[in-house]
Every structure is written in C-alpha cells, then in structure tokens.
Chain A
C-alpha cells in the first residue's frame, strides 16, 4: 500500500459526516408507538436492513476498581441468551444468516445488526434475547476472559498500544479516559460474574439511546421492530460519567522499548464537538495532518524527507474531554528529526495560519468528498447515529457543505492561533530514539 490510513481518523470522519443530496431528501425521523426515536433511510433495492443502535456512556461507566468489566460484558452478550447456550445461539444466528456486533468505546456501547428481509422477525427476536436476557454463564465468561487477557498480554509488547496507554494516563490520570477500556490483566482477572451483571445494568437504558436503520424496511415496520426489541429496557441509566480533568504538561516522555522503529504520539488539549469553531478546526486539521498526501505533515515528513511511511493528526472530541493528537513512526535514528519537523510545522501553522489557496483546496476536497461517504446501508446507518449522538439536526445534511464554504481565511487563521499551541505539545515516544530524552516524570 502506498499509504496507511489511521483507523482513528476514519472513526472521526463518521462524526463529522453528512449526507449527499440524494440521501438527504430520504432521511426520515421515526418515532415508534412506544416513543423510541430513530432516523431511517428506506432503500428497498437489496432485501436486507442495517440497524445501528448506540447507548451513550460506554466503558467509561465502569465501576471504580472494575476497569474492563463493561468490555468483557459486551463481548459475552452473544455467548448465550435465554434458552440458548453460546453454541446454540451461534447456530441460530448462522441459520438466519444474520450478524450482530457488540462493541464498546469509552463514550458509547454499540449494537450493529444486519439481517435479511425474509427472516427479519426471527433475527430481531434472537437479537432481543441477547440484549434483554443474556445468560452470562460462568464458562462463557471464563472463555471470553481468557481471550481478553490474551489481547492484554499482546498489548503489553505492542509499541503502539504502549504509547497510547502512556499518553492517555498522562492526559487524563484517574478518570476512565486515563486507562484502557479493556482493563488491565489484574482488573480483568479479578472480575466476578456479579461484576459483569452490574456492568450490564450500567450500560443499557432507553434515556440515552440513538438508533438508525437503512435498508429494506418501512417507517411503520421499524417502529414496531424497535418497540419489540427495546421496549422492555429500563428507562433511565443508573450511573453517569464525570468530566475528565486535562492533565497534560508540555514535554517529552520516552518509554524504553526494543523495536527497530519508534512510535510517537503527540498532542495537547483540543476542541469540543459543539464549539462554534469546530468546523474551521476540522478544515485546519485536514490541511495540516489529515494523512492524505497533500497534508503539510505528509509533505514535510514523508514526501520531502522520507522519514516515515505515515504521519497524521486528528481531532478527538470525546464526551468528557478533548484532544488534538497525532501519530508518527520512524526509524530510531530518524525520530528526532521527524519530531523537530512536526514541532516546527505546529509553530508555523499557529503563527502564520494557512494560505487562501490551501483553504480553497481543502474546501473543494471536503465538499466534493462529502457525497462519496454514503455508499452502503451499514456506513450510512453508522453516520446517522453519529450525527444524532453529537446533536446535529436532521437538516444539517443540507447545510453542512455551506458551513464549510462559509469559513473565511480570517476565521481559519484565528482558529489556527487558538487550536495549535506549540508550547503545550506533549510527546510520548516508544522505542530507543537517538537524541530524544524524557523531560520529566
């Protein structure tokens, strides 16, 4: 591959996305007879539906001392429900050719389902049993726990995971954001079945529920389906997540690690998703470090100097704290130079902003790329849920490109000065980078 795309950046695209004209006219706001709200795009040309459900407040809802409980709980949902043990459940699901995915991030638990029109009712009944009557059999918990522990052991020898864990701890301390959502070997080893049942009770409730469906289903059918699937869920969450206190100080942390190529994460405080300057900040990041060839960092670090295969930056506006971050990998002998170039570019954009041409090019790209993201039922469902979670109105779809076009050079350069703070930058480098030293800690 010529280029590597950052998975994180892709996840964030979804949060900022909007629909092409064709889909825009088709998005319906649906309220079920029981009062569950959803957005729907009817697409009857292929006989299946993609359903995306999110519950705000994900792994960050872990009880104190129980880090990783919600992650383990989510991974065990499909391992037996109602009258079916894990294997019987999997057979039933495979016979229907349905698929269910249960995932969790710090801010949200998500359920992604895909099912054929021909057996929709059976697929929903099966999904309901996983959501409403999971068994959490002890042997299923032990099996999944062993798999989670294998992942945690592998993370301990993966420089990227080490970098991420170190950066999060420095940034957020004891808040759940400061540790990995899948927990530690110690915390996961000590979780009991009661902890898993408690984790289940923390996540699933209807008060912070977001739903989108795209595919071969009508508004009326969707309403009935949602009442059947989610109607029995408790109304309110019993726990809430508190605001995370930003704790990063400027400087460098080197984590000694035996690897030919060092990994660096860098960044500082970012911008909230509901900040009026968010769109200019997003355009700035596109120009500065989106990861595409045209970004300033790719040009300076890769194309001109050959110091890396990939460098990128991203905005990370989480529900309870926000960062602007970047990532680069470089040979131990070249990392110091790569970091110098990044620091210099950070200062340059803060002080001088961007040119009229750069702004124009970024607008052309962002407005042109906009309709291309909506190219399948599941991707559209994910985008629609993301929009609801960040509080965008249903007509945002029609106004989004105009909002991008309306950003002036004066706006963007004011925001560049506000967002990029070269003196606040924190670097975490994992490896043995020549000439890079820890500054404190």
Chain B
C-alpha cells in the first residue's frame, strides 16, 4: 500500500544482502579493480565503471559538480562525437545510463554479450580523453537545472529530505544534495568540470564490474587491452573527508509546503556504517530495521501503530550501512486522520521504548532470517542488481570479502545484540526530527 508509501520506503531502503554467485576479481597494474560476475542463462552483459568519487568529494562552493560531470561524460572524446557513445550503444540494441551518489559515480551499458569489447573500448576512451565544447556545457547546465526542478523542486518530500540532511550533517559533506544547490549549479563551469574529471577519473580510482554471460579470463584480457594502457592519477590519496563531530543537541525542523497533502514525520539518528572487516555493528542495525519496520503487517512498528493503537497509516524503519562515512537510521510515521503530529511522534517513541523493554519475538527473528535466506535465492535471478551491490560496496570502503561475508553475518545476529544496538542508536540527542506538513495545518491538529 501503495504509491505514496512506496516513495517513502525507497527513501529509507535498507541495504541489500549480497548473494552467492560465481565471482572473480583482478587488479590491473595501473590500479583498476575488476569484478566479474557470471550468469550464463541469457546472452546479456552489464558493463559498469564505478568511480570512487561523488558529491561528498566536491570542492566547497561547487556543489553538483560530480553530477554535472556525469552528464558531460556523454559529450564525446577525441574519437567520439557528442552523444555518439549512446548512439552506438543504441544501434547495438543496448541501453546505457549513469548515476551519481555521495560516495560514487557510475556509468553502465546493458548489451548483448558479444558487444562487450566495443563497450570497453568506448568507456576506457572517456576515462581519460573527454572533450566538451562551451555550447554543450551551457545547454547541459540547463538540462541539469530542469532535472533539479523535476526531481527536487517539484517534489516536496525531496525538498524536505534535503533540509533534513542539511540539519543532520553539520560538517560532513553528506549534508549537500547530490544534484547541488541551485545557485551553485548555475555557476558551475567547464573548467570546474575538467579539474574534477582530470583528478578523479583514473584507473586507480575506478572499479570495473562486468556481469552476465562472460568468461572471466576473456574479460581480463579485454580489460588489459583497453583499460591497461591508461595512466593513473599520481598522488591520489585515500578519501579523508570532513567528519561529523559528536552531536550534543537534538535538532528539530518543521517543513511546510502547500503541496504536502499527507503530513508525516521522519526521525533520523546518526549511525555507524559498514566498515571493512568490521561489519557486525551494521549487521545488528540492519536486523533492527528489518524487525522494526520490514513489513507493514508483521513488523514491530506496524503491529503496534498501524494495527494496535491505529495512530499510523504507515510506518517504516530504514538503515543503509553501505556508506563511506557515518550514515543514519531512520523511522517514519504517517499519522491517521485525527492523530496530531505530537501524538504521532509520542506514539512512535513509545513503540520503540516498548520494543526495547519487551525484547525480540523469537518467531519474528526466525521469519526475518528465513526471508533473508530466500532473498539470496530470488536475487540470483537478477545479476544486474548483484553487480550494483558490488559496485556500491567497493566504492564505499568495503571489499569483495566484506560483501561475501555479509549474508552469513546477518544470520548470526542474536536477539540480545539487536536490543543492545537499539539502546545505543536511539538517542534523541543524536537525532533530527522533521515534521512535514501542509502550509495551513496547526501543529497540534
């Protein structure tokens, strides 16, 4: 149930467990890391290049440059005209696209497996040989501003999230929106894009993920041929970004917008992320999110607030542990008509306190573990999503070993560990509470 809530759920999507699959890894002499995932059921390949750079690596005042550069990467190279890469992919029956987050920027093509070499030739070409005219940059900036208008300014729930993140992170660049602040995007230049590109787009800052109907040795041979000769960026050091200081005071905000028809509350707590070789704390939080908010009818919050006290139309708990720096654990409640925001927030706090008091229902823990095991079977059906899991993890400070260890780790988590994690994370002093409301609504209503 249904559209409105889907959007909220996506906002808080929990991290996906990784699955069993035949995985082979290599590293080239120039630093390029390679992951090959085999699935021979259909003659298809997904070819992805992930850069270890995203919106949280932007210079001050240049918000949006990582995402703007992502768009400009389609404007051609010494040997490819503007838009030609996409045109060639299309003519070969494939599709291509790209996406930017705080920790990574990724480019991918999905195409018949026998076209892999062509994809590699073009993707390797634009890793070091990008060209763009001033006109292309001007037009594309307009496109990016329209993208911001469509996907942020026209969506009050996204504007609300932007405000909440800015309140959450005092010092970490995670408080800056990926698309950038409008005023800064309007001033991004071709020179800004080139400087960012030349430093960060290099084999020693990239991960190549190839998934589908391929032979790992063949992939390695092709990668050596096309990516092998590319020069690394010298002096590229580990990513040390401004860190979040300890939060000492609760932060609250009220977001009013006439386009919000259905008020809701999001509470987000600063929380540790998955660290390489040390993922247990994150595994506890992942299980906590599943138990509290995983399913509308069987989760703790669903049982207590949707079915029990009927204070909520919808509740959710979300935690995404795949992140280079500190992440968040979030709770959402959409109050029923007649329930005030204050009542809803109090009911949410009470439900969480009761959960900590009552402990974990062993049957529910068993059901969640059963579902996580089944997810590994179902997800074998989707090698592209597995490829995305590896790409995200390997650009967020994790290794393929961490990815592979994760599912077994989740199965080990005990009821006591979950409660201990809940006691630790649910500290109002380390939280941002946001109320999203229609313009005219009274607070107490």
Residues of A whose CB lies within 8 Å of any CB of B are 1-4, 20, 22-23, 43, 45-48, 75, 79, 86-87, 89-91, 94-95, 97, 114, 116, 143-144, 146-151, 153-154, 156-159, 258-261, 292-294, 302-310, 329-331, 361, 364-372, 374-378
Contact = CB atoms under 8 A, between A and B. Distances in A.
A261 B150 contact: yes
B90 A294 contact: yes
Interface string B400-438: 000000000000000000000000000000000000000
B94 interface: yes
Interface in B381-404: 381-384
Contacts of A294: 83, 86-87, 90
* A-B pairs, 10 with minimum CB distance: A368-B93, A306-B142, A97-B374, A90-B297, A153-B261, A261-B149, A309-B147, A306-B139, A369-B93, A309-B146
Contact of A144 (B1, B261, B374): B1
Contacts of A361: 90-91
Contacts of B383: 375
Interface string B74-110: 1000000001001100111111011100000000001
28 contacts: A2-B70, A2-B97, A20-B43, A45-B41, A48-B377, A75-B1, A75-B2, A86-B297, A86-B307, A116-B377, A146-B313, A147-B5, A149-B337, A154-B4, A158-B259, A292-B90, A293-B90, A303-B83, A306-B140, A306-B142, A307-B142, A308-B143, A309-B149, A329-B146, A371-B42, A372-B111, A375-B383, A377-B381
A101 to B, nearest CB: 11
Given A2-B98, A94-B295, A95-B370, A376 B381 contact: yes
B307 A22 contact: no
Nearest to B156: A157
B154 A91 contact: no
B130 interface: no
Contact of A91 (B86, B141, B298): B298
Nearest to A367: B93
B99 A1 contact: yes
B105 to A, nearest CB: 11
A97 B370 contact: yes
B371 interface: yes
Interface string B41-77: 1111000000000000000000000000011001000
Contacts of B262: 150, 153-154
Given A95-B367, A309-B147, A377-B381, A364 B93 contact: yes
Q: Chain B interface residue count: which class? A: 35 or more
B162 to A, nearest CB: 15
A375 B146 contact: no
A45 to B, nearest CB: 7
A150 B313 contact: yes
B261 to A, nearest CB: 4
B90 A371 contact: no
A48 to B, nearest CB: 6
Contacts of B147: 1, 309
A261 B153 CA distance: 8
Contacts of A306: 138-143, 146
Nearest to B372: A97
Given A45-B41, A91-B298, A293-B83, A261 B258 contact: no
Given A260-B149, A306-B138, A331-B146, 5 more contacts: A90-B295, A95-B370, A146-B337, A365-B90, A377-B381
A261 B94 CA distance: 31
A47 to B, nearest CB: 6
Given A293-B83, A372-B44, A159 B95 contact: no
B150 A156 contact: no
Contact of B2 (A151, A153, A159): A151
A234 B152 CA distance: 48
Contacts of B111: 372
Contacts, number: 200
A307 B146 contact: yes
Interface string B151-189: 101100000000000000000000000000000000000
B215 interface: no
Nearest to A45: B41
A150 B334 contact: yes
Contacts of B324: none
B303 interface: yes
Contacts of B368: 94
Contacts of B371: 94, 97
Given A46-B381, A150-B262, A372-B93, A91 B139 contact: no
A116 B376 CA distance: 11
A281 B297 CA distance: 45
Contacts of A43: 41
Nearest to A330: B146
B27 to A, nearest CB: 28
A363 to B, nearest CB: 10
A151 B4 contact: yes
Contacts of B370: 94-95, 97
Contacts of A367: 93
Contacts of B151: 4, 309
A374 B97 contact: no
Nearest to B367: A94
Contact of B71 (A2, A47, A330, A378): A2
A151 B258 CA distance: 16
A272 B334 CA distance: 42
B3 to A, nearest CB: 6
A260 B154 contact: yes
A292 B74 CA distance: 13
Residue of B259, B380, B382 most packed against chain A (CB within 10 A): B259
Contacts of A293: 74, 83, 86-87, 90
Interface string B292-326: 00011110000100110010011000000000000
Contacts of A148: 1-2
A144 B307 CA distance: 11
B276 interface: no
A329 B142 CA distance: 13
Given A94-B298, A147-B5, A372 B110 contact: yes
A47 B93 contact: no
Nearest to B92: A368
B352 to A, nearest CB: 20
B373 interface: yes
Given A157-B258, A157-B259, A365-B91, A147 B139 contact: no
Most buried by B among A2, A259, A378: A2
A43 B153 CA distance: 45
Nearest to B374: A97
B149 A147 contact: no
A400 B183 CA distance: 50
B13 interface: no
Contact of A157 (B143, B261, B310, B375): B261
> Counting chain A CB atoms within 10 Å of each CB, which of B4, B112, B153 scores highest?
B4
Contact of B380 (A46, A261, A310): A46
B381 A378 contact: yes
A375 B98 CA distance: 20
A261 B146 CA distance: 8
A375 B42 contact: yes
B313 to A, nearest CB: 5
